[in-house]
Amino acid sequence: MALIQGRFIDNIGRVYGLYTGGFIAFIILMAILEQLGVSADAIGIMFVAFTIAIYALIGWLSRTMEVDAYYVAGRQVPALYNGMATAADWMSGASFVALAGGVYFGGYGYMAFIIGWTGGYVLVNSLMAPYLRKFGCYTVPDFIGTRYGGNLARLCAVIVLVVASFTYVTAQINATGTIAARALHIPFSWGVWFGLAGILVCSMLGGMRAVTWTQVAQYIVLIIAYLVPVIWMSNVQGFGIIPHFTYGEAAANMAQFEAQYGLNPPAEAIPGLSVLTTPHTGPVGDYAQWKFVTLALCMMAGTASLPHILMRYFTTPSVRSARKSVGWSLLFIFLLYFTAPALATLTKLQLLDPSLPTAIIGKPFEEVASLAWIQNWSSVGFLAIADQNGDGILQLNEFFMRPDIVVLATPEIAGLPYVISGLVAAGGMAAAMSTADGLLLAIANALSHDLYYKMIDPKADTSVRLIVARVLLLGIGALGALIASLQLTGILGAVAWAFCFAASGLFFPLVLGVWWKRANREGAIAGMVAGFVAGSAYLYYVYTGGTPWLGLDHLRFGIIGMATSLVAMVVVTLMTPAPDEEIQRMVDETRVPVGPPILAPKH
């Protein structure tokens, strides 16, 4: 197996080049089949089934019984490919499906997510990734447990990690279920289990190695699926060849349309659906800028503390390549994130600008009601039009839509062929599956490596450890799917919470572990416990109807958690003795890129 792995690494560019070519050929084949009269449903099924079959094949080929291959992909993933894998790991179903819709409806306030989910990588690169790579850990609690010493610190880190990641993974399994249900025409509750099966095939046999190589494949699918419809639409509608640089005027003109139609709440609201009431480019309401900055800060600190992202940088061959791969990661993420506002703006323009043939606002009500895409999405309850003022004209506040259908419905609004919609479904599936994979693996690895191996049975041999890791993966996946099938939270709420949990409990213990030599065990435990408890308590308070303090609502509870964590950690550290010389030397070693890792290569 080692030989094949070596050959694969040498040929990696060719392998993924062929794969990308094959995928494009598949898209063209689907387009031809559509022209030959194959039904839209069949094309949707083929897109989802074909891509999942490929991921499953990669997962099977990457199976392993080696500890370091299972936990850190053998530490031989080149920076460029680790960047792609991180980007897929990072961009969740929420990014893919909900981001553009969020910008469409939320305007300025929502764009804090875009800043937060990209700016966080500057923190990852400057404060965390290179040092954790040098440390040589398998998991994030591995760093906490070794740097601060003691099982209690390790256990606290495991708990925060599990809560944050589990919050996140249920949202991803939910998203895979939604997409699978729509594309394959099965009930949502089956879709969830189908999605889980796909996720587990990618991760069970080969751990981090399998997840890495499937995530690279998933990135290629998801970025093609995001960019092609936007660029195609832009060319069909005459918005420019590459719309990203030419939609400025559309954004600038939006204020004029907003004034023309009026941003008013609907006469009668429809539950679950929204009308546009927020201006596109400017802030609105009290504390708008403060809310932007606090949300962005929570997302950025969360980015730098979420274990499924940090552990991707444990897989590179060196400290330098870890840094380089952060650079690649953000570049690949940027490609999607700077497209989302363009998509949101152009979709809005198509609906609002009366000089475009696709416009619906201000048109006679009957004419709009007869459009095919309006009928399709209305029939599943994702969209509604209601002539509430009885003037026979569709007003802006009479057009209701679920925010997360903007990406899915845009190809239809612009009149693109169905093959594009099938492609988008495959892309959304890839985004949700890749993130779910990374998260499930982060949880299962923390439990198997840190809880089981390091704390319960340090003498366990390799095969037992890897079997425990897989059983946990299966169990946690099943639990996640069970909770997802109950549909307790919306996709976005749960995602933002995961970032806040991670930032509250882990951000400062991780950062100060490298950057403050004086930081000791007592301080770190205090920081994790106080931050996590304060954040959670505040979340409970706001979520059960408490008045948010300074506009810090349930999406921003990480601010409270982080502030508490920092104060608790610094105060308790200074009240207790400095760490011993061995730990201080360990910190010194962590800071230089050369020399052996702190933890042995196979521990």
Partner 1 sequence: MSAESTDVRDRYWQKTRNLTILVLILWAFFALIIPTLITVLNTVTFLGFPLGYYMIAQGSLIAFVLLIWFQNWRQDAIDDEFGFGDEG
Name the site residues for partner 1 (rule: CB under 8 A): 108, 111-112, 114-116, 118-119, 121-123, 125-127, 130, 244-249, 251-252, 280-283, 289-290, 292-293, 296-297, 300, 318-320, 323-324, 326-327, 330-331, 334, 337-338, 341-342, 585, 588, 591-594
Query: Within 13 Å, how many C-alpha atoms sit on residue 52's CB side?
Result: 25
> Which among 140, 171, 152 has a CA at the least distance from the CA of 495?
171
CB-CB neighbours of 285 under 10 Å: 10
Going by C-alpha positions, the residue among 193, 201, 176 that lies closest to residue 62 is 201
Contact 289, 115 (CB under 8 A): no
Contacts of 24 (CB under 8 A, 6+ apart): 224
We find the least distance from the C-beta atom of residue 348 to partner 1, in angstroms, to be: 13
Question: Strand, helix or coil at 495?
Answer: helix
For helices 207-236 and 418-445, the axis angle rounded to 10 degrees is: 150
Report how far residue 387's alpha carbon sits from residue 291's, in angstroms, rounded to the nearest whole number.
34
Task: Measure Cα distances from 338 to 119, 279, 298, 503 in Å.
Answer: 13, 19, 20, 25
Distance, in Å, from the CA atom of 423 to the CA atom of 228, rounded to the nearest integer, reads 9
Number of other residues whose CB lies within 10 A of the CB of residue 597? 16
Q: Please compute, for residue 20, the number of CA atoms within 13 A of its CA located in the half-sphere on the CB side.
A: 13
CA angle 34, 36, 40 (to 5 degrees): 30
Q: How far is CA 557 from CA 293, 333, 411, 504, 554, in A?
A: 13, 25, 37, 8, 6
3-state SS class at 393: strand
The contacts of residue 103 (CB under 8 Å, 6+ apart) are: 110, 111, 114, 340, 341, 344, 345
Task: Judge whether 512 and 587 are in contact, CB under 8 Å.
Answer: no
